[in-house]
Structure formats: C-alpha cells, structure tokens
Amino acid sequence: MVNHAADIVVHWVQAGMATPWLVWLVITLMKCGAVVGVMMGMVAYTVLAERRFCAFIQDRLGPNRVGPFGLLQPVADGMKLFLKENVLPGHVNKVYYVLAPAITLFPALATIAVIPFGNRLGGEKMVIADLNVGILWVFSLAALGVYGIVLAGWASNSKYPFIGGVRSAAQLISYELAMGLSVIGVFMLAGSLNLGQVVEYQSHCWLVLKQPLGFLIFMVAMFAETNRTPFDLPEGEQELAAGYNTEYGSMKFALFFMGEYANMVVASAVMVTLFFGGWQVPFIPVEQWLGCSWLSGMVYIGCFLAKLAAFLFLFIWVRWTLPRFRYDQLMNLGWKVLLPLGLLNILLTALVLAGQR
Amino acid sequence: MADPVSKTSAVERVNLTVDGRAVSVPKGWNLIQAARKAGFHVPHYCYHEKLSVGGNCRMCLVEVGLPRMGPDRKPVLKADGTPEIGWLPRPQIGCATQAGEGMSVRLNSQLVKECRRSVLEFLLINHPLDCPICDQAGECKLQEYAFQYGGGESRFVEEKERKPKKVELGPRVTLDDERCILCTRCVRFCREIARDDVLGIFNRGSHSYISCYPGRKLENNYSLNTVDLCPVGALTSTDFRFKMRVWFLKETSSLCASCARGCNITVGSREGVVHRFKPRCNDAVNSHWMCDEGRLNYKWINDERRLKKPLIRASGSAKWDEALAAARDALVRNRGRVAILASGQCSCEELFLLKKLAETYGAVVKLAPAHEGPGDNLLVETDKTPNMNGVRLMGFEAGREVGAKLSDAMAKGEVAALVAVRECAVAAGVDAGALKKMDAILAIDVLPSPTVEMASVVLPGAAHVEKTGTFINFQRRLQRFHPAFAPPGEARTDLWILGQLPGGDSKPLDYEKVFNRMCGETPAFQALPWEPLTEKGVEVEW
Amino acid sequence: MAIITPRPQLTLAERLYLPAIVSGMWLTIRHFFVNLLGLKKKFTLEYPDEKCPPPPGCRGAPTLVRDEDGREKCVACQLCEFVCPPRAIRVTPEALPPGSRHAKIEKRPAAFEINMLRCIYCGFCQEVCPEEAIFLREKTILTGASRRELVHDKQRLLALGGSRPDSVKKWKDK
Ligand code: SF4
Ligand code: SF4
Ligand code: SF4
Ligand code: FES
C-alpha cells in the first residue's frame, strides 16, 4: 500500500518539473518511512508473537485478551509504557543514562538501510542505500550497538547493570570475530561486498547450500550478537535481575526492548540476504509468470518478509527451548570452536575455489 | 490478718520432708504452706491463707507418712541410717493437716495423682460447658487443674443437675450456681472478714447451691472480694461481666487512689482502657482485699470528657510549647503573688516539684484541701485522698479551711495567680466571682471543673494509672505505682508538666532523677532505698 | 566427609550438543503445534470468564455462621481474636438482652469485625472456636473500593457464612 502510494508520487514528480535529486530525495524518504514503519510494526508483533508462541510451547495461552487473539496487545503495551512515569534515578550518570537506549535502537534501524528487501518496484531498487560495501556497514553498525549496552551498564551506576554491560562487551567482541570470518566465504564466492549482488548471485542456488558451515557459525554468532538465549548473559534475569536494563523503566526501557527485537529483525534480514537468497523466490520464475510488474515486485518483498518471519520464528523457538550458557562455555564456544571453524571454512572455500579454477 | 509467716524466731519449728526435700517450718503451718516453702504447689480450691480452713473440696489430697516407731519408742532406721516411714493408708487433705516433726509428704505419688483426677472428675460431673461465655475462663482454677491434673474425659452419661444461673446476689455480684464448686470461700469471707454473714449453702447433695439468706443481699462494701476468691466463674462482677476476656488484660501494679489506705491493686487494661481493678496482696496494708467503692472508681479514667489538649484561654491556642510559655509568663509576671492549690491526689514527686515552684516564685500560700467521708474499721479510711501525708510532708497546709484561707489571701490582694493541681478552687469554697478577678489561673487537671473552665491556661495531666510516682498512705508507708498506659490525647504526666515550669529541670522527664532529688532534699526520705520500694512499699518516719 | 560426585563422561554426541538441541527443538515445536491447533484440552482458565470452583475444604474468607434455627452461634468468647496471628479479628462482647429468644446463652458479640486486609487465611479461628461459629468459607475473591469496605462487620460475616447445622446442640437444654 505504502509502495503504491510511492508510485503515484513518483509519477507525479516525474511528470512535473522536479530535478532528479529531488526525486531521489522524496523516493528515499518514502522508502525510509516505509521500511522503518514496517520494521517497527514487525518489532511490535514479534514481541506479541514471542509471548504467544512461548505460551504455546509451554502449554499456556499467552496474552489473548486485548482485541481478537490479543492482536491489540502491542498497542496496549505501548500505551502503558508511554504513560508510565519517566523515572530518572538519582545515582545515575544522567547524560549517558538517557543516551544509552537511543544508541541501542539506532544501529538496528540504520543497518536495515543496506538490506535489499525486494527486487524492483516501478523501476526503483528496493534498498534504501545500495552501498557497495554493504556488509561492512552492517558489521560496523552492529559493533556500535554494543555501546548502548555498555553505556547503559556503566551509566546506571549500579552493580547488576554494570556486570551486564561488561558481559555484553566481552561477548560481542568474541562473537564478532567469528561472525566476520564466517561470511568471508560468502564474499569469496559472490565476489562482492554489495548485498544486492550477493542476492543476485544466489538466484540459482542459495548460499546456505554452498556454505553450510559458514551459515551455522554466522547464525550462532548472530544469536550471540542479539543477546538472545542461549546467549542472553548480559540480561540473564536469574543472575543479574535484568542486567544492563535493571535501572531503566517506562519509555527508556521500551527503547531497549525494541532495540533487542529490532536487532533480531536485522539479524534475520542479514541471514536471509546472505544465505537464503534474499528476496528471491525459489523454484518459481516469478517474472516469467507475472512480468516485470508491480505485482512481481510485491511478491519479492513478500517472499523476503516470509523468510524473515521464518527466522524470527527460529529465534523465538530457540529461546524457549535452550537454556543459557555458562559464561566459560560461552567463551569456549566463541574462541575455541567458532573461531577455528570460521578459519577452516575460509580455507575450505579457498581450496574449492582453487580447485575449480 | 496477721502474717502467717511469722518472723520471730521464738516460734517452735518442725522439720519435715516434702517430696524428698527437707524443710523447717513454724509449728502450726499446714502442708500446703509447708509444700510452698519447699517450692511445690499443692492444688487446692477451698483453702485460702486468710480464711479458716474449710476442707471440703478435697483437691489438696496428699500422702502423709510418719517415722515408724520401734518397740523402744525410737524411730526404726533403714540400712542407710534414715528413718523408715510408715505411710498412712489413706491420703490426707493438705489444708487441714498440720506439719509435724519428722513427717514425710508425697505430692506426686500414683495415689495422689489418682485422687486429684477423681476429685476433678467429680467436680466436673455437674459443671456446665460454659467456658466460652464464662468470665473466669483464662484465670479459672478449675480449667487450670483440669488441664494439669484432670483425666480429660468424663464417664458421666446421666443428665446434669440444673441450677439457677445469672442470680443477682447483690448490686455488684452475679452468681451462676451451675459453675459453683461449693468451696465456701465466699461464705467464709463474708462471715470472717466482711463480718456480714449473708451467704450460705442450701439444699443437700448434688442439689446444694449457694445463695443469700432469705431477705438478705450481698451488698456490703467488700462484696466484690468474693468474686476474686471464687476459684471458678460462679461469682462474677456485674460491672466487669462480659466486658473483656482476662487474657487480653495487661496487668500493672498500682495503688487505689480512693482513700488514704492506698490499697495495693493490679490494673487490668487493654489498649489504654481500664477494665478492672483487682486487689494485690500486701499484708501490711490491705491483705488480699479492697473495698468495692475503690474497685469501681475507675470509670472516670476513660471518661470522654478527659482533658486531652492544653489550652490558653485568651488566644485559644492548643499547643504545648505556647501553653507552657504562657504559664511561665504568668508566674514571672505575678512573682511573689502566687498561690498554690495542690491535692492529695498528687504524687510525692509532683508535690516536691510544686514546692520548688513555690520557692522560685515566692508563693504566698501552699494549700491542699481535705476530702473526707465515712470510713469503716476494715480498710476504708475517712481521708479520701491517697497522699495527704505526702502533702503535709512537703510543707503544704492541708485541711478543711484551705478554701477560706485562700479566699482571705485573695481578698487582701496578696494573690494574683493561682496554680491549681488536680483541685477545684470553687469546690474548695472559693468564690467564683473573686477567682474571675485573678490575673492568671493555671490548672493542671484531668477532668473539667469550674476552676478549669475559668483557668487562663489549662494543662491536661494524667490519672494515677497513667503515670508513675509514690503516695504516702495513712500509715506513713511510701508506696509506688506504675503506669499502665500513656495519658489520652496530648495530655502529659503532671511530673513532666511541672518539670517544664521554672523550678523543675525543664529537661526530658527522668522519674528516677526527680525521686532521688526529692530524697536528697527531704529529711524523712534520707537514704531511702530505691529498689525495695518496688512492690510492697516502705514505712517512712518523721 | 566430603562427598565426591564423579563427573559424567560425555560421549562425542553429547559434547557436540547438537543431538540434544535437535531433540529439544523437536519437543518444543511439538507442543507449539499441538497448542496452536488446539489438539489438546487446555488447562488455563481464562479467569474472569471462567472460574475455578473452590475445592472442598477451601479456606476462603472467615465468616460467622448460624445454626439451623437461625441463632448466631458465636458467643463472643474472643478466643479467635486471641489466636489470630495477624490480629485481624476484633470482637466486642455484650450481654444478651433479657427478653431475647436465646437469653440463656447470656453472651453475644455486639460487634464482630474481621479485617480482611490483615487476615492470612490460616484457619486458626475456625480451629479454635469452641462454638463452631466461625468457618472459612468458599469466598476467596474479595474486592473493595476502600479499606473500610474490607473490614467485614458482623452483618456481612453472617451473610457470607450462611448456616451450618449444629452438631453438638449444647445450648438446647440450658
Ligand atoms: S468456672 Fe471455669 S471451668 Fe467452669 S465454665 Fe467458668 S471457666 Fe469454665
Ligand atoms: S483465618 Fe487466621 S488470620 Fe484470618 S481471621 Fe482467622 S485466625 Fe485471623
Ligand atoms: S467466633 Fe467462636 S472463637 Fe470467635 S468469639 Fe465467637 S465463639 Fe469465640
Ligand atoms: S483446699 Fe484442702 S480441701 Fe479444699
């Protein structure tokens, strides 16, 4: 719907006397709006989905009282959080304390810019910023996300948050390495750092089939990067109350919360893009059937979203199945297993590539 | 009423063994007393140390043995050299058996236990299941002994005897004949102590019941002592009936303030409300008794009209600091023209501080009006205040004419400020019109009175059960009383109030300090011990 | 004495975690679909719409009961007031008026209050009552708009309690 409206605006602008940069600006802004809107919606409903799915897994019902099937629950939650008193504890470092939640949410939203979420819609590429070093952008922003958490832990000036923040820093550093190594194989095969091209490369065969080990490492690292179970040590309720966000409440807490889920969405999107063919529809030659039309564009976006949803479901499923790691196990896994495996994966890929030549 | 524990050594003593413990007691003591001396309790109902022995309840059965005599009239010795005991085949009642030389007593043998169990079973045969509505529950000897020594079960399946319930024996005592165990303590009390022989047992066997003689009533001034004496809930106080369960009552040692005898009492109160006064044994003063009048004279303590807030009449202010400041101002302003009207209701410590106040301001007169009424030859004194001796000792002028004296001084214009503590000048005979012309009247009191109505500063004080202090009774015995609870509302103890006025210390109240200061400055109290003063009081001489 | 628990020797499969993860995932997804499709009877009661019937012997709010001829059984002995651990009960006794039908019982509560904000539902009052006059009944859900409303007075306690036949009938032949 949003994109359809965009289409009209595009035609209107093009028909008029507008300069090309203005057209670009308007279209980009519209894409941004649409993407952020869709993403926040997804975040909200992922939270609801998580609550209801985990309830099913645990033979419960979950929130089902607000609206049909509880579908309006996110609205109620949002309203509640908005109306809550904005408490600023006396002992915190005020500036960083307020800044931290924003810093957590921002990278997640910014990362999505380089993810191609569709093929083309009315001639427009369905990616906000078609960077040719897309993956580096992703990594650098993901690395930024940890600042929010560390800052929150430190600025709260209280024990549990501090431990949470420190844990988070150590964990993210450890797993970023493995994550970086695991995707090198992908780019060796695709021959480009541009995510659009990586997707193009997969039009015949998803990279997960060519890089199963790489995918596995990447996925584990992504779980760790998003602080999801079994890697939720920074907030582990049972050990640290709520970890880095212990001292937060109302909307500031909500930002952390949304940040966590936005990170999950982004992680899923990256995984889909790198290993599962991005917006490509498997086995079905969409464009042959539908032509290069608006419809096919929408189908691609739909396909991307479906894959995304599948990964989100995986995140939820894993969270309500696996117990948390012990901290030494976490470090062992990161440094002693995933890192060597990542190196091995590069070596194997290189050998295969050399063999093919 | 003489103390049975006579301290003179001239009395002949006997030696006996109670449950293996050797004791030596004066000749004439019975086995209950001897056992108590040895540290044992013999359960009993009808025996009371101040009454003649009744010997009818059979609860005090014990086994008694005497040394067995050989043909040579010498005790037969066992192998270890101790005399062999010949136990009497039947148990004896401890209350009516005098301790004898060489006697042995068993309090816990199988036979004794069996006897107690059976006695209780008999007593309970016709006893109603009244405990839930019985005022005695919680301090009932029948409950206690049934619990400790009883069998726990009755084999009696026949109909219980029905007897009159809720019988008004007199204006203050209600009787429940079903609960009565016929111990006759009440009968003996009326006959021997109150000397008003109105109670007796009527009918025979299990139909027997207690009642007044036809045409008579139990209405003497000591009738409520029968309620204390009744070991069960048969005799109950009509006043206290159904007011509060005894287990909720906080018990505080205090004194009766209704006459100069100063009977020792226990105040039973719950959450700032007095529910009853009970006599506390002090052989030197009131033995186990107190008069009904004093016992029932507690209702004013929880009266709704109690003064609860200080008041400066001119400004209507009700703040303590302002009221005290106003009182001090009035005294300073009228230095040399102050009259003090104290009361026999004031404690010695309060009177002492009042004396200091009088010295500081050069009081013209220090008076305390007398309150007199009929007395009797048992306990009640004609002087109706508890501390008139204290008043005199502290140099106040007491008597019937103080009102006239005060009026005189006022007429001569020597007095411009009056400090009235627990006394009403109008009631003492001073003309209200003359009082109105005074510059200042400071009233420290508990209840409204004409003087309080007129006072320029009202300082609400405390009843004696709300404070601590000492009274000197008519025998010149200094006795202490203790606070059961705090004064109501913002009222304070009189000692605190006086401490805040010049002459006092203006320091937070420390009762012991005031007492010691008083002892130091009062010749009669010189070197008075603080500690022994606690329960029974000491006699002072001057 | 120290107790030495030997560490279990893990097999390779166990050390890899993967089989355990897979079996765990299988278990949870099975539950997920079973519940999603509603294949099993659900245990959850959706509270305001569905209520859990109190099981027999449930200790709900303490109440006062009457016997079969409508006599208030409480005689204001105040034992419950004494035994109540949080001091929720307040009994004010009075003598029964002489003309009353039950005058032979002599005593009754003039006021009987149970502060349900203090009550901990221990049931001691029921246990101690010599007259079998106070019972913890089924009412478990108490709401009120003010603190005062949750202090149950005698009328409310009797209304909640209803009647219970008297098993002893000790006052019958008084
Ligand atoms: S006299 Fe004692 S045993 Fe008898 S009903 Fe009263 S409390 Fe119970
Ligand atoms: S149930 Fe327990 S807490 Fe509640 S009123 Fe009875 S005794 Fe008190
Ligand atoms: S409810 Fe029972 S225990 Fe409580 S006062 Fe009444 S009779 Fe006594
Ligand atoms: S006390 Fe001895 S018979 Fe009653």
How far does the centroid of ligand 3 lie from the alpha carbon of residue C89, in Å? 10
Residue with tokens 């009661």: C45
Which of B126, B129, B160, B245 is most worth mutating to test chain C (most C CB atoms within 10 A of its CB)? B245
What amino acid is encoded at A112 in this protein?
A: I
**Do B44 and B165 fall into the same domain?**
no
- CB-based burial label for B395 (10 Å; 0-12, 13-18, 19+): middle
Nearest to C44 among A60, A321, A322 (CB): A60
ipTM above 0.85, yes or no: no
CB B337 within 8 A of CB B414: yes
Radius of gyration of chain A (CA): 21
The answer, for C43 touching chain A at a CB cutoff of 8 Å, is yes
Pocket test for ligand 1, best of B57, B135, B140 (most atoms within 8 A of CB): B140
The answer, for C35 touching chain A at a CB cutoff of 8 Å, is yes
Q: Do C35 and A59 touch (CB under 8 A)?
A: yes
The pLDDT score that the predictor gives to residue C59 is 87
**Do B57 and B153 fall into the same domain?**
no
The pLDDT score that the predictor gives to residue C90 is 94
| Cβ-based contacts of C75 with chain B (< 8 Å) | 132-133
**Do B55 and B90 fall into the same domain?**
yes
Ligand 4 atom closest to residue B57's alpha carbon, by position in its atom list: 4
CA distances for B301 relative to B242, B459, B488, angstroms: 20, 17, 9
Last residue of a domain, one of B208, B225, B243: B243
Distance from CA of A182 to the nearest CA of C (A): 19
Beta carbon of C120 within 6 Å of any ligand 2 atom: yes
In a domain, B252, yes or no: no
| Cβ-based contacts of C79 with chain B (< 8 Å) | 132
Q: Which chains touch B (3 or more CB pairs under 8 A)?
A: C
The residues pairing with B279 across neighbouring beta strands, listed in sequence order, are: B265
Residue with the smallest CA separation from ligand 3 atom 4 is: C80
Ligand 4 atom closest to residue B95's alpha carbon, by position in its atom list: 2
The pLDDT score that the predictor gives to residue B504 is 59
In a domain, A33, yes or no: no
Q: Do B129 and C106 touch (CB under 8 A)?
A: no
**Do B69 and B143 fall into the same domain?**
no
Residue with tokens 């996110």: A74
Beta carbon of B93 within 6 Å of any ligand 4 atom: yes
Radius of gyration of chain B (CA): 29
Relative to the alpha carbon of C65, which ligand is closest? 3
How far does the centroid of ligand 4 lie from the alpha carbon of residue B96, in Å? 8
**Do B475 and B500 fall into the same domain?**
yes
How far does the centroid of ligand 1 lie from the alpha carbon of residue B235, in Å? 11
Q: Do A56 and C24 touch (CB under 8 A)?
A: no
Q: Which residues approach ligand 1 with their CB closer than 6 A?
A: B 127, 130-131, 134, 136-137, 140, 142-143, 179, 232-233
Closest C-alpha among C132, C166, C130, C94 to residue B132: C130
**Do B70 and B214 fall into the same domain?**
no
In a domain, A118, yes or no: yes
In a domain, A318, yes or no: yes
Model confidence pLDDT, tens digit, residues C80-102: 999 999 999 999 999 988 888 88
Look up the CATH number of the domain holding residue B412.
3.40.50.740
Neighbours of A281 (CB within 10 A): 18
Residue of C nearest to A57 (CA): C32
**Do B332 and B382 fall into the same domain?**
yes
The token pair at C16 is 């890899």
How far does the centroid of ligand 2 lie from the alpha carbon of residue B128, in Å? 28
The pLDDT score that the predictor gives to residue B507 is 66
Relative to the alpha carbon of B97, which ligand is closest? 4
Model confidence pLDDT, tens digit, residues B333-392: 999 999 999 999 999 999 999 999 999 888 889 999 999 999 998 999 999 999 999 999
In a domain, B302, yes or no: no
The parent domain of residue B209 ranges over 132-243
In a domain, A61, yes or no: no
The segments of chain B whose pLDDT lies below 50 read 1-4, 6
Strand ranges of the sheet holding B469-472, from the earlier edge strand across to the other edge: B469-472, B477-481, B538-539
Distance from CA of A9 to the nearest CA of C (A): 42
The parent domain of residue A322 ranges over 77-356
In a domain, B189, yes or no: yes
The segments of chain A whose pLDDT lies below 50 read none
Beta carbon of C159 within 6 Å of any ligand 2 atom: no
Model confidence pLDDT, tens digit, residues B423-452: 999 999 888 888 988 899 999 999 999 999
Q: Do C93 and B132 touch (CB under 8 A)?
A: no
Q: What is the mean pLDDT of chain C?
A: 87
Give DSSP secondary structure letters for B222-277. TTHHHHHH-SSSSEEETTTTTT--GGGPEEEEEE--SSTT--EEEEEEETTEEEEE
Q: Do A321 and C28 touch (CB under 8 A)?
A: yes
Judged by 3 or more CB pairs under 8 A, whether A touches B is no
Q: Based on the structure, what is the number of domains in chain B?
A: 3
Q: Do C32 and A318 touch (CB under 8 A)?
A: no
| Cβ-based contacts of A321 with chain C (< 8 Å) | 21, 24-25, 27-28
Pairwise CA distance, residues A162 & B133, whole Å: 65
Pairwise CA distance, residues B465 & B140, whole Å: 26
In a domain, A41, yes or no: no
Q: What are the φ/ψ torsions at residue B322 (nearest 5 degrees)?
A: -70, -40
**Do B346 and B474 fall into the same domain?**
yes
Strand (E) or helix (H) holding B221: none
How far does the centroid of ligand 1 lie from the alpha carbon of residue B301, in Å? 30
| Cβ-based contacts of B247 with chain C (< 8 Å) | 82
Distance from CA of B131 to the nearest CA of C (A): 8
How far does the centroid of ligand 2 lie from the alpha carbon of residue C137, in Å? 12
Rounded to 10 degrees, the C-alpha dihedral A95/A97/A102/A108 comes to 130
Pocket test for ligand 3, best of C67, C80, C135 (most atoms within 8 A of CB): C80
Neighbours of A257 (CB within 10 A): 19
Helices A250-275/A159-190 angle, 10° precision: 20
**Do B448 and B325 fall into the same domain?**
yes
Could you tell me where the beta strands, DSSP code E, fall in B115-249? Answer: 167-168, 173-175, 199-202, 209-212, 235-237
Q: Do A321 and C25 touch (CB under 8 A)?
A: yes
Beta carbon of C160 within 6 Å of any ligand 3 atom: no
Look up the CATH number of the domain holding residue B60.
3.10.20.740
Which of A53, A59, A220, A329 is most worth mutating to test chain C (most C CB atoms within 10 A of its CB)? A59
**Do B88 and B136 fall into the same domain?**
no
The residues pairing with B17 across neighbouring beta strands, listed in sequence order, are: B22, B104
Pocket test for ligand 3, best of C63, C64, C66, C77 (most atoms within 8 A of CB): C77
Portion of chain B with pLDDT greater than 70, in percent: 96
| Cβ-based contacts of C104 with chain B (< 8 Å) | 165
**Do B76 and B181 fall into the same domain?**
no
In a domain, A348, yes or no: yes
In a domain, A230, yes or no: yes
Residue of B nearest to C78 (CA): B245
The pLDDT score that the predictor gives to residue A286 is 67
Q: Which chains touch A (3 or more CB pairs under 8 A)?
A: C
The answer, for B129 touching chain C at a CB cutoff of 8 Å, is yes
Residue of A nearest to C28 (CA): A57
The answer, for B133 touching chain C at a CB cutoff of 8 Å, is yes
The answer, for C42 touching chain A at a CB cutoff of 8 Å, is yes
Nearest to C130 among B131, B244, B247 (CB): B131
Last residue of a domain, one of B217, B243, B269: B243
Peptide bond into A161 cis (omega under 30): no
Neighbours of A80 (CB within 10 A): 11
Look up the CATH number of the domain holding residue B160.
3.30.70.20
How far does the centroid of ligand 1 lie from the alpha carbon of residue B321, in Å? 53
Q: Based on the structure, what is the number of domains in chain A?
A: 1
In a domain, B424, yes or no: yes
In a domain, A65, yes or no: no
Nearest to A322 among C24, C32, C46 (CB): C24
